[in-house]
Structure 1
Amino acid sequence: MRSAPRGARDFTPAAPPFGAAVAAAKAAGELVVQPRMGFPTGPAMRRGLEAVRDVPSRTVGTITLDSYTRVGDHGSARRALDNGESLNGYPLVAHGPTAARWLTAGLGGRHFAVQVRHGSSLPLDIFRVLLDSGLDATEGGPVSYCLPYSRTPLSRSVDAWARCCELLADRSPTAHLESFGGCLLGQLCPPGLLVAMAVLEGMFFEQHGLRDISLSYAQQTDFGQDVAAIAALRRLGGERLTRSSWHIVLYTYMGVFPRTEAGALALLRHSASLAARTGVERLIVKTPAEAHRIPTVEDNVRALEEAARSAADTDTTPPGETADDGVYEEARTLVDAVLDLHPDVGTALVKAFARGCLDVPYCLHADNAQRSRSYIDGDGRLRWLSVGAMPIRAAAPPRSSRLRADDLIDMLSHVQSTFDCAALAWA
C-alpha cells in the first residue's frame, strides 16, 4: 500500500479530531478518561468502543493493537485470525482499512474521538492503514517505542518515525500524536528523565510537521514528586513547544499492580486524584483485573467510571508553594544537553544515547549506555543512584550504593505492596 503524495487532501475522518475532543473537555472543566483495551475481532472491538462512548463521563476510545502487528508480522496476525486463535489486541493491518472504518461508523457525538495504540518502533504500515481507515490519532515515539520494547537500532527507529510524522501531518490537518516518552520502562525511571524525554519527542514531532500533540507522564512512587514532575512537564513544554497545540496525559501506574481489588482501586483513585490535582487533561487508566487476567469491556468501563468519579471528588483548590523537587532543572539540563549536540532533534537523540548523555536505568537495549541506576529513597521517592555520563547529579547514595537482585525486586513491588498492605489494614 503506497502513501499519498506530499500535500494530499484525500483524508476523510472517521471520528472527531482527537485534540479537539480533549480541548472541549478542558473548556468544560472535565478530565478525559481513556482505556487501553483492544480486542482481535471487529464485533468485540466495536462493542468495546460503544461501551466506552456510553460511559457517563468524558471519554475517548482506544484501539490497541496486537503483538504481531506491533512487530510488523502481519502474516502471522492474519493466520491467527483465520485459525480462530486469540490475539492480545486488534490486528489493524491484517483486518485492513474497510474493517477499521466499520469500527467507528456511526458512533456519533461531536467529542468521541478514537486513538490507535500500538507499541511499534517501525510503525509505517500501521500509520498508512490507520490513515486509510479515517483515523489520525496515535502515539509512541522514536525513543519511547524503541528502547524498552525492541531491538531495533535507535537510528533506524528515528528515521522511521520521521517518515511517519511527515505522513501523518501531510495526510490529515487534524492529526494528533502522543509522545510515550514520559512512560519509559513504566517504572523506576526518575521523573527528570521522563519529563525531558516527553518534551524532546514532542519537539521531534513538531520538527516533522505535527501541530497537535500530547506529552505523557506515568504515575510513579510518590504523589508529591509526581505533582512536581507534572508541573515541570507543563513548564518545560510551554517553553519548548512553540508551534503546536498540546496537552498532558497521565498514566495510572504502569508497573506491578496491587493484587487485592481494594489495593488496585485505591491506586486507580490515587492516579485520578493526581490528574485532577495537577490539571492534567487526560488520564489513561488500568483496571483491578490486570494483575490477574486480560480485562473485559466491563472491567474497563468500571475503571473509567471509578477514575472519573474520583477525579470529580478531588479538591483542586490551588495549593501554596509546591516544592519543585529539582525535576524541572534536571529535565531542562538534559534537554539543553541533547539539543547542543545537533540542530536536528532526531540526530541529537541518536548522538545523546551514543555518548550516554541520555541513559535509561535498567534498559538493556544495545543503544543504551546502561550505566545509570535509580532507587527508591526512605520517603518513597525515585532518586538517581548513578547517572553515568548524563550531565546531572545523583542523590546522596544510600548506605550501600550497590543494588542486589532482591533490592530490585523490592523496588519493583514497592507500589504493589504499599497499596495492598494499606488495603489489608483498612479491611
Structure 2
Amino acid sequence: MPSVCVVLDNSPTPLRTAVIADSDTRWKWGVLAARRMAPAASADGFLLRGRATPTPRQLAETGVGVEVAGEVTGPEFTERAREYDVVVLACVGRGVQALLHGLARLERRPVVVTGYVGVVYEKLPDGLLLRHGADVVLANSRHDAERFREVYAGIGADAASVVEAGLPFLGGKPYEPDATRPYTVVFAVQPSVPDSRPERAYLLRRAVGHARAHPEREVLVKLRSRPGEHTTHVEEAPYQRLAEKLPGGLPANCRLVYGHMGELLDRTDLLVTVSSTAALESLHRSIPTAVLTDLGIREPLGNHYFLGSGCYASWDQLDAGELPEPDPAWVARHGAADPAYTAVRARIAALTATERPPLTPWLTPRTAPGFLPPLLARYGFAPDGSALRADAVKESAARRAARTVVRRAARGAYRSGVQRVAPLIRRMGAL
C-alpha cells in the first residue's frame, strides 16, 4: 500500500490519514472532509464491505479523484488503522459504532473523526449515540452543533468532541444568470424520499409538466444512481423506470442526467428538491432554491428541516414563475455558509501532540446489553471489540476471489428483490 502523508496546519510533522466509507455519498464526504482538515494533502481511501459498497462508476461520479486502497471488513480496517495518525469514519452510524469498538482495542490508536454526510433531520439521538466515542464529531452547522451538544448533555455524555465545521463539499462559483444558454431547472431527486411509487411518479410528472409548460427552459432530473446500484438506500421505484412509463415520454427539453452535482450547479438557474443536501449546496452559491411542499411538510420527507428558510414552494408556484426568497440568517445558521475547519485542525493537532486516552463510546455491553452485541456481530466484532473468528481467518487468494464473486451476486440479488419482487408482493397483498 502506498504511503500518503498529510500535513495539518501548524503541525511540525507529517501525519498519515485514512478514510473508510460505506457508500458513494459518504466516500465523497469523508475524502473532502479529510482535505478540509489538511488542504495540501490527500488520504488513503478504504471501502467498508457491505450491501451499499459503491461501484467504480459511482465513485468516479463523486469527483473527488481518490483511488481505493482496498475493500475491507471492519476488523481488517482496524488492523490497518495502526499505520495511521488520523482516520475518518465516513459510515452509517452503526458502522461507526462498530469501528469505534474495534479501534478502542488498539494500544496505539489514531485520532478518530466522524460526522454526518448532510442534512440531519431524523433519528438524532440514535445517530449521535452511535457516533459517540470518536475524538471529533463534525457538525455541519451552528444549528447542528448546538443540537448535538444538547443530546450528549442529556445523557451525561462528554460533548467536547462536537466541533462545528461545515459541509466539506460546499464551494463553486456564485450564481450569475447567463443569457447565452437556456434557463436551467434541476430537480435533485433522492433514493428514498419520497419512498412510495405514486408519490415519486407524481413528482416526475410535475417536473415533466414544468418542461412542457416552459419549452424555453431546460429541465434536468438529476439522478443519484442507475437501476441496481446502491447508495445509502436501494430505490424501489427508480425514476428511470418511472420515466419509461410516461405517456408520450420525456419532452425534448427534459432529460435524466447523472454526474457531479457541483458541475451541474455551475449551469443551474433553479434547484428544486424535496429535502436533498443539494439544497444547501445551491443556497451556498446563491442559486434560487425551492424545497417542494407538494407532498406536505412532513418529518418522513425531511423537508421540515427547512422551516424558516423561506425556500418552500410547490410545482404550481414554480410553474407560475414564482421563486422563493431564502432567509440569510437561516442560511448562515444551517450550514450553507462557508465551511470553516480551523477549530477541527486545532483539535486534531492537540490530540496528535499528546498520548491519546482510550476511546470510550457511551454504548457498551453494560449500558446497552440488548443492542450493542448484535450490532457488533453484524460488522464482524465480538462484544469486547475483538474480531470474530470468521473475520480473523486469513483466506487464500482463490478463496478471496470466490467470495468476491459470491458477494457481488448476492448484492445483485438483494437489489433486484428490493426493486422488483418486494413491490410486486406489496401490490398483490393490496388486491
Same fold, judged at TM 0.5 (above): no
* Largest Rg, 1 or 2: 2
Q: Which has the higher helix share?
A: 1
Q: What's the TM-score, normalizing by structure 1? A: 0.32
Per chain length, whose mean CA-contact separation is higher, i.e. which structure has more relative contact order (CA < 8 Å, sep 6+)? 2
